[in-house]
Amino acid sequence: MGRCRDEIAFGTDGPYLVPEQDRVVSDLSQREKDRLIVDIRATNILLQVLPRDIYELINHNTDAKDIWDNMKMLLEGSELTKDDHESQLYDEFKQFGQHKGENIHDYYVRFTKFINDMRHIKMTMTKI
């Protein structure tokens, strides 16, 4: 199964954990199994929503907490104002097209991300 940490106490800052130890799932208590399942689900959710460049930087992390902490650090300070973001999206829209050698799936993924970014900031395009 991998490595696990046992919880020895719970304080105001969260649980106090012992150093990681090699364990198998059959050795875990039901509470530990539940915590492992939740951590795996959280890890999967976090990794699925990451942009590829950030994913490649943090995909080596094994638990959701480490992934979350690294995501926060990498994305901190990258917040743009709505106007800046809208301006950036307009520029991207003007240049948007299929890259040479790009397959249709990757093109679709980029387009969908572009549309989702527009929806996220409630941006609309005027009809020509």
Q: What is the pLDDT of residues 3-60, one digit of tens each?
A: 566 666 767 777 767 676 666 778 888 988 898 889 889 888 888 888 887 888 887 8
Helix ranges restricted to H, the chain? 30-49, 52-58, 64-75, 82-95, 104-120
Q: Is-above-0.75 flag for pTM?
A: no
Does 9 share its domain with 38? yes
Tokens of 52: 């590829």
The pLDDT > 70 percentage for the chain reads: 80
Tokens of 7: 């919880």
Task: Give the domain extent around 106.
Answer: 82-120
Does 13 share its domain with 55? yes
What pLDDT does residue 26 have?
Answer: 81
Does 112 share its domain with 57? no
Does 34 share its domain with 71? yes
Beta-carbon contacts of 35 under 8 Å, excluding residues fewer than 6 positions away, are none
Does 70 share its domain with 87? no
Q: How many domains is the chain partitioned into structurally?
A: 2
Does 101 share its domain with 66? no
pLDDT at 121 > cutoff 70:
yes
* Residue 31 and residue 3 in contact, taking contact as beta carbons nearer than 8 Å: no
In a domain, 127, yes or no: no
Does 11 share its domain with 70? yes
